[in-house]
Chain A
Amino acid sequence: AQSVAQPEDQVNVAEGNPLTVKCTYSVSGNPYLFWYVQYPNRGLQFLLKYITGDNLVKGSYGFEAEFNKSQTSFHLKKPSALVSDSALYFCAVRDVPNDYKLSFGAGTTVTVRA
Chain B
Amino acid sequence: NAGVTQTPKFQVLKTGQSMTLQCAQDMNHEYMSWYRQDPGMGLRLIHYSVGAGITDQGEVPNGYNVSRSTTEDFPLRLLSAAPSQTSVYFCASSYSRFYANTGELFFGEGSRLTVL
Residue of A nearest to B38 (CB): A106
Q: Which residues of B contact A106 (CB under 8 A)?
A: 40-42
Q: Which residues of A contact B103 (CB under 8 A)?
A: 32, 34, 46, 49, 92, 94, 102
Residue of B nearest to A92 (CB): B103
Size category of the A interface is 20 to 34
* Shortest Cβ-Cβ A-B pairs, 6 listed: A43-B107, A104-B42, A34-B103, A104-B43, A44-B107, A43-B109
Q: Which residues of A contact B97 (CB under 8 A)?
A: 100
Q: Which residues of A contact B107 (CB under 8 A)?
A: 43-45
Q: Which residues of B contact A102 (CB under 8 A)?
A: 43, 45, 103, 105
| 4 extra interface residue pairs, beta carbon distance < 8 Å, beyond A46-B106, A105-B42 | A32-B103, A41-B109, A43-B4, A102-B43
Complex Cα spacing A49 to B40, Å: 22
State whether the Cβ of B52 lies closer than 8 Å to any Cβ in chain A.
no
Do A100 and B33 touch across chains, with their CB atoms under 8 A apart?
yes
8 Å CB contacts to A: which residues of B38-52? Answer: 40-45, 48, 50
Q: Which residues of A contact B40 (CB under 8 A)?
A: 106
State whether the Cβ of B100 lies closer than 8 Å to any Cβ in chain A.
yes
Complex Cα spacing A83 to B100, Å: 31
Known: A43-B4, A90-B42. A100 touches B108 (CB 8 A): no
Can you list 15 contacts pairing A with B, beta carbon distance less than 8 Å?
Answer: A4-B42, A32-B103, A42-B109, A43-B108, A43-B110, A44-B92, A44-B107, A45-B107, A46-B104, A46-B106, A92-B42, A94-B103, A99-B101, A100-B45, A106-B40
Residue of A nearest to B49 (CB): A100
Complex Cα spacing A105 to B38, Å: 11
Complex Cα spacing A71 to B78, Å: 41
Chain B 4-44, CB-CB to A under 8 Å as 1, else 0, gives: 10000000000000000000000000010100000011111
